[in-house]
Chain A
Amino acid sequence: MKYVDEYRDSKLAKPLVAELQRSVTKPLRVMEVCGSHTMAIFRNGIRTVLPEGFELISGPGCPVCVTSAPHMDAFISMADKPGVRVAIFGDLFRVPGTSGSLAHASSRGAKVDIVYSPMDALELAIKNPEDLVVFLGVGFETTTPGIAATIMSAKIRNVKNFTVFSTHKVMPAPLEALLSDPQLKIDGLLCPGHVSSIIGAGAYQPLVDKYNLACVVAGFETTDLLNGLILLARQVGSGKIAVENTYPRAVTWEGNARAQKMVYEIFEPADMEWRGLGVIPKSGLKIRENYSDFDAEKRLDITLPEAEEAKGCRCGAILKGIDTPIACHLFDTRCTPANPIGPCMVSSEGTCAAYHKYGRS
Chain B
Amino acid sequence: MSQKTILLDHGSGGLASQELIGNLFLKYLDNPILRGLEDSAVLENQPGKLAFSTDSYVVDPIFFPGGDIGKLAVHGTINDLAMRGAKPLCLSLGLILEEGMDLVDLEKIIQSIAQSCNESGVPIVTGDTKVVPKGKGDKIFINTSGIGFVADGIDISSLNAKAGDNIILSGTMGDHGITIMTRRAGISMDGKLESDTMALHTMVAKLLDQLPEGIHTMRDPTRGGVATSLNEIAANSKLSIELKEEDLPVTPEVRAACEILGLEPLYLANEGKCLVVVQSDKTDQALAIMKGCKEGKDAQVIGKLVEGKAGRVVINTPIGGSRVVTPLHGEPLPRIC
Q: Does A touch B (CB under 8 Å) in the complex? A: yes
Which residues does A use to contact B, with CB under 8 Å?
Answer: 1, 4, 8, 10, 13-14, 16-17, 35-36, 42-49, 62-64, 89-91, 93-94, 103, 113-117, 120, 123-124, 139, 143, 222, 226, 337-338, 347-349, 356-361
B323 near A48 with CB under 8 A, answer: yes
B319 near A14 with CB under 8 A, answer: yes
Type the 1/0 row for B211-231, where 1 means its CB is closer than 8 Å to any CB of A. Answer: 000000000000000000000
B323 near A120 with CB under 8 A, answer: no
B323 near A42 with CB under 8 A, answer: yes
Q: Does B191 contact A (CB under 8 A)?
A: no
B259, B262, B337 — most chain A CB neighbours (10 Å): B337
Q: Does B322 contact A (CB under 8 A)?
A: yes
Type the 1/0 row for B305-337, where 1 means its CB is closer than 8 Å to any CB of A. Answer: 000000000111111111110100110011111
Chain B nearest Cβ from A138, distance in angstroms: 9
B252, B324, B333 — most chain A CB neighbours (10 Å): B333
A123 near B186 with CB under 8 A, answer: yes
**Given known A91-B336, A116-B334, contact A359–B321 (CB-CB < 8 A):** no
What residues of chain A lie closer than 8 Å to B37, measured between beta carbons?
Answer: none
Subset of 25 A-B contacts with CB under 8 Å: A1-B252, A10-B246, A14-B318, A14-B319, A16-B319, A17-B319, A17-B321, A35-B337, A43-B317, A44-B321, A44-B323, A45-B323, A46-B319, A47-B321, A90-B335, A93-B333, A114-B333, A115-B186, A116-B186, A116-B261, A337-B326, A338-B329, A356-B326, A358-B323, A361-B324
Describe B's contact surface by its main secondary structure.
Answer: loop
Known contacts A10-B319, A90-B333; can you find 6 more A-B pairs with CB under 8 A? A45-B321, A64-B337, A90-B335, A222-B319, A348-B262, A358-B323
Within 8 A of A (CB), among B274-316: 314-316
Q: Which chain B residue shows the least CB distance to A139?
A: B336
Specify which of B246, B321, B322, B336 is in contact with A89 (CB 8 Å cutoff): B336
What residues of chain A lie closer than 8 Å to B321, measured between beta carbons?
Answer: 17, 44-49
A1 near B320 with CB under 8 A, answer: no
**Given known A13-B318, A47-B321, contact A89–B335 (CB-CB < 8 A):** yes
**Given known A357-B324, A358-B324, contact A45–B186 (CB-CB < 8 A):** no
Type the 1/0 row for B85-128, where 1 means its CB is closer than 8 Å to any CB of A. Answer: 00000000000000000000000000000000000000000000
Q: Does B58 contact A (CB under 8 A)?
A: no
Q: Does B256 contact A (CB under 8 A)?
A: yes
**Given known A116-B261, A120-B186, A357-B326, contact A49–B334 (CB-CB < 8 A):** no
Please, how many angstroms separate the alpha-carbon atoms of A120 and B336 in the complex? 14
Chain A nearest Cβ from B265, distance in angstroms: 13
Q: Which chain B residue shows the least CB distance to A14?
A: B319
Q: Does B183 contact A (CB under 8 A)?
A: no
What residues of chain B lie closer than 8 Å to A8, measured between beta carbons?
Answer: 318
B322 near A48 with CB under 8 A, answer: yes
Q: Which chain B residue shows the least CB distance to A89?
A: B336
Please, how many angstroms separate the alpha-carbon atoms of A357 and B328 in the complex? 10
What residues of chain A lie closer than 8 Å to B314, measured between beta carbons?
Answer: 361
A62 near B337 with CB under 8 A, answer: yes
Q: Which chain B residue shows the least CB distance to A17?
A: B319
Chain A nearest Cβ from B326, distance in angstroms: 5
Within 8 A of A (CB), among B61-78: none
Q: Does B134 contact A (CB under 8 A)?
A: no
Q: Does B130 contact A (CB under 8 A)?
A: no
What residues of chain B lie closer than 8 Å to A115, measured between beta carbons?
Answer: 186-187
What residues of chain B lie closer than 8 Å to A13, measured between beta carbons?
Answer: 318-319
What residues of chain A lie closer than 8 Å to B246, measured between beta carbons?
Answer: 10
Chain A nearest Cβ from B128, distance in angstroms: 29
Within 8 A of A (CB), among B230-257: 246, 252, 255-256
Q: Which chain A residue shows the least CB distance to B321?
A: A45
A8, A114, A139 — most chain B CB neighbours (10 Å): A114
Chain A nearest Cβ from B307, distance in angstroms: 16
A347 near B337 with CB under 8 A, answer: yes
Please, how many angstroms separate the alpha-carbon atoms of A321 and B330 in the complex? 28
Please, how many angstroms separate the alpha-carbon atoms of A87 and B164 in the complex? 48
Chain B nearest Cβ from A155, distance in angstroms: 21
Please, how many angstroms separate the alpha-carbon atoms of A16 and B246 in the complex? 18
What residues of chain B lie closer than 8 Å to A103, measured between beta carbons?
Answer: 330
Chain A nearest Cβ from B97, distance in angstroms: 23
A45 near B334 with CB under 8 A, answer: no
Chain A nearest Cβ from B127, distance in angstroms: 32
B259, B319, B320 — most chain A CB neighbours (10 Å): B319
Chain B nearest Cβ from A153, distance in angstroms: 16
Please, how many angstroms separate the alpha-carbon atoms of A337 and B335 in the complex? 16
Specify which of B315, B316, B320, B326 is in contact with A17 (CB 8 Å cutoff): B320
A359 near B319 with CB under 8 A, answer: no
What residues of chain A lie closer than 8 Å to B317, measured between beta carbons?
Answer: 43-45, 222
B323 near A43 with CB under 8 A, answer: yes
Q: Which chain A residue shows the least CB distance to B333?
A: A90
Chain B nearest Cβ from A341, distance in angstroms: 14
What residues of chain A lie closer than 8 Å to B255, measured between beta carbons?
Answer: 1
What residues of chain A lie closer than 8 Å to B322, measured between beta carbons?
Answer: 45, 48, 361
What residues of chain B lie closer than 8 Å to A10, measured between beta carbons?
Answer: 246, 318-319
What residues of chain B lie closer than 8 Å to A91, measured between beta carbons?
Answer: 333, 335-337
Please, how many angstroms separate the alpha-carbon atoms of A358 and B333 in the complex? 19
Chain B nearest Cβ from A242, distance in angstroms: 27
Chain A nearest Cβ from B315, distance in angstroms: 8
What residues of chain A lie closer than 8 Å to B256, measured between beta carbons?
Answer: 1
A113 near B337 with CB under 8 A, answer: no
Please, how many angstroms separate the alpha-carbon atoms of A209 and B317 in the complex? 38
What residues of chain A lie closer than 8 Å to B335, measured between beta carbons?
Answer: 89-91, 348
